[in-house]
Structure 1
Amino acid sequence: MTDTAERLPDDTEAVRGALVEWYEADHRSFPWRETRDPYRILVSEVMSQQTQLGRVESAYRDFLDEWPDVAALADADRADVVGFWTDHSLGYNNRAKYLHEAARQVVDEHGGEFPTDPDGLQELMGVGPYTANAVASFAFDNGNAVVDTNVKRVLHRAFDVPDDDAAFEAVANALMPDGESRVWNNAVMELGGVACGKTPDCDEAGCPWRAWCHAYETGDFTAPDVATQPSFEGSRRQMRGRVVKALRSHGTLSLDELGPRVRVDYDPGGRYGREWLGGLLSDLADDGLVEVEGDEARLAR
């Protein structure tokens, strides 16, 4: 396993703050993100296993209309629950049976109250480590870092974490602020779903980790679930990454010192000259990544 410390950026607090600020400013709205009810969160997590979120959202609302709380589900006829699962194309019917049994356990063995930590939640039928941690995080703010495919992709690209489950978990947990698993895990998964998908959308989505991202700097966006990298050579995204890399390596640079480090054919008065470079710097400044004063640029402090 990799040395966790080697994979973390020096300014970890800045990395954390940038992600949380980005997430809280704007994120996709899902009904399960608007609740802390462990029952509703468990339903969403079980439904989301290998099922597209668009289909999950409709099924989730219908399910809660039918069985609005854990007591109602525990009292339901199992055949009705399985029939709902089949009618809504939610995958393996065993998930419906386990969810129904878990509701009965909560009512019969826990007095209708969910366990609040991952270990306790794993005692419920069909609730594995990932789901238990997700419910503990999103309902009780009491979980570890969630590590799914999206999170692995983000960590691999951003911090060059090797494709190793233990390494991913170590780095993910080291990055997560203590006692903030709800907002942090939502934010990392949002980053993987919106900005760092299989085809990355770094600039358009305003990825908050561009200043630290290994993939953004090198142009290599391969990942454990991405065998071939998207077209990148010569793109504006690549040029922006080169600006960040140059300023990180050399500190404050004048435009004419920076330009050749971004493009070998930089010509102050040409097509790829000061005006073109100024446009890149303006975009990066708008994103809070660089500062420009007169004829000089540096990374934002």
Structure 2
Amino acid sequence: MTDSDATAVAGAGVDGDAPELPADLDAVRDALVDWYEADHREFPWRRTEDPYEILVSEVMSQQTQLDRVVPAWEDFVEEWPTTEELAEADRGGVVAFWSDHSLGYNNRAKYLHEAAGQVEGEYGGTFPETPEELQELMGVGPYTANAVASFAFDNGDAVVDTNVKRVLHRAFAVPDDDAAFAQVASDVMPDGESRIWNNAIMELGGVACGTTPRCDEAGCPWRRWCHAYETGDFTAPDVPEQPSFEGSRRQFRGRIVRLLGEYDELALDDLGPRVRVDYSPDGEHGREWLRGLVDDLADDGLVAIEERAGADEGRSADDGASEVVVSLRR
């Protein structure tokens, strides 16, 4: 999930066409928390209040299935267990780790590395604790900042991600309107309990109230109040489809980073055939196409491009592509 896919709600009073909530709101809250505490999925980042470990989990979880995140998260915090060690790490190695674990969007690794440097250099090794302060860290948007504030410091606001929208839409007939979702999410969350509440309501959306609801099988705690359970109408807000990864520029960017993690450097025409088998220097997927990818990666600070005078043996001296050498930025 990305920060653009979710909203961190800054308290009640958000305007929106929100429906009236059940009168016994305390019973609604208690039912959900009791359900979560009785049984929930065990993710390792749920067993810690370390803001660094939670930040790593949140960044990794953006648009990545959680079962794939678990081993990557465990390997990452073993390799770099503190912000100090991550900040001192070679950025190319961090990016290569990200790519090797197929986490996608390698610039997240760069931002995480830079955020660790900020924590060490600007905050004396101590994480800021509020959503507003956390957004000062590189690559940390409203959703991630609120998640870290909630799960590390119990100091966050209500979150509204895709799962939470689906829950609120079905349970309380909240219209598909961001302001309405924001208001209801904030009104339902008990004051000062963002850690347990945000975990619980996201768990409800992930386990009981998924795209295919499992109300009875999962023992949904909100059945007695749920509009969808009463009416049988389990429609949900529209969710934008993610673009296909296969054959995308994102896929090839990731492949370039992985390759450069294996080599100190590669000339453009040596890199090309390793990126895709149909690479042809002057073809549709040739030097111009590949140069566009590496330029994008360079703009993101992930790779370095060097224009070298002269050419490799066997290549024309005025062959511009043969003089372009790419490496991971260190």
Band the TM-score falls in, shorter-chain normalisation: 0.7 to 0.9
Which residue of structure 2 lines up, in the alignment, with residue 116 of structure 1?
129
Distance 1:128 1:163 in 2: 23
Which residue of structure 1 lines up, in the alignment, with residue 33 of structure 2?
20
Conserved in 1, the CA contact under 8 Å of 2:162 and 2:239?
no
State yes or no: 1:171 paired with 2:213.
no
TM-score (norm 1): 0.74
Q: Is the partner of 2:159 in helix, strand or coil? A: coil
State yes or no: 1:196 paired with 2:235.
no
Match of 1:68 among 62, 81, 86: 81
Opposite residue 16 of structure 2, the aligned amino acid is T
Which residue of structure 2 lines up, in the alignment, with residue 139 of structure 1?
152
Task: Compare the two structures and name the one with the higher helix fraction.
Answer: 1
Q: Is the partner of 1:9 in helix, strand or coil? A: coil
Distance 2:238 2:69 in 1: 22
Match of 2:47 among 17, 34, 43: 34
- Paired residues for 1:259-278 under 5 Å: none
Distance 1:69 1:29 in 2: 22
Quote the offset at 1:226 in angstroms.
Answer: 7.0
Which residue of structure 2 lines up, in the alignment, with residue 96 of structure 1?
109
Distance 1:225 1:53 in 2: 22
Which residue of structure 2 lines up, in the alignment, with residue 215 of structure 1?
228
Which residue of structure 2 lines up, in the alignment, with residue 2 of structure 1?
16
Unpaired runs of 5+ residues, structure 1, are 228-301
Conserved in 2, the CA contact under 8 Å of 1:154 and 1:191?
yes
Query: Identity percentage over the alignment?
Result: 77
Cα distance per residue 1:163-221 (max 9 Å; x no partner): 11111111101110011000000000000000000000000100000000000001000
Quote the offset at 1:70 in angstroms.
Answer: 0.9
Opposite residue 16 of structure 1, the aligned amino acid is R
Opposite residue 187 of structure 2, the aligned amino acid is A
Opposite residue 39 of structure 2, the aligned amino acid is D
Conserved in 2, the CA contact under 8 Å of 1:149 and 1:225?
no
Which residue of structure 2 lines up, in the alignment, with residue 79 of structure 1?
92
State yes or no: 1:224 paired with 2:237.
yes
TM-score (norm 2): 0.67
Distance 1:7 1:139 in 2: 32
Conserved in 2, the CA contact under 8 Å of 1:146 and 1:185?
yes
- Number of residues paired by the alignment? 226
Task: Tell me the C-alpha RMSD between the 2 structures.
Answer: 1.2
Which residue of structure 1 lines up, in the alignment, with residue 141 of structure 2?
128
Distance 2:140 2:173 in 1: 31
Opposite residue 212 of structure 2, the aligned amino acid is T
